[in-house]
Chains A and B, each alone.
Chain A
């Protein structure tokens, strides 16, 4: 494939990934924050949704860091204990 097409495909895949992430987060934060639907999203609900998104990102980073730490601990510990 020529580089231009490859770039376009990569961009398509990336935007699809973003769309999936937004879809998932919308579901999660809808479930957590939105009650019985009225004629608009009130400010309290909006605040909850914004926090929900931010904390989700925090949680994702936090878990990422932790997994990395654990992997390092595992790698630096004695080889036999790594598999126990």
Chain B
């Protein structure tokens, strides 16, 4: 591969690397937090009466819940973008 067109000053490289690290950290943190939130929300919805095990209906509910939470996030992102564009 040819990288000759990319400016590669030593200082810039270092800053780029630091920034990439920050972005990666944020990405991981966000993913972990999202997992925690989904666990919290789906536990609340699906495991209303905790028994001796996670029974099949609770498992089924949890699987639906995970997907519906992601759907909700998609709808929220879309509507928020639309709404904010409207105002400006």
Contacts and interface: CB of A to CB of B under 8 A. Distances in A.
Given A29-B72, A30-B72, A53-B83, A37 B65 contact: yes
A74 to B, nearest CB: 27
Interface in A19-39: 19, 21-23, 25-27, 29-31, 33-34, 36-39
B80 interface: yes
Nearest to B46: A37
Interface of B: 11-12, 15-16, 19, 22-23, 26, 30, 33-34, 37, 41-42, 45-46, 61, 64-65, 67-69, 71-73, 75-77, 79-80, 83-84, 87
A54 interface: yes
A contacts with B: majority SS: helix
A7 to B, nearest CB: 10
B30 A19 contact: yes
A50 B12 contact: no
B72 A41 contact: yes
Contact of A12 (B22, B34, B37, B84): B22
Interface residues of A, number: 33
A49 B30 contact: no
Nearest to B23: A12
Contacts of A22: 73, 76-77, 80
Contacts of B71: 40-41
Contacts of A16: 26, 30
Q: B30, B33, B46, B83: which has the most chain A beta carbons within 10 Å?
A: B83
B73 A36 contact: no
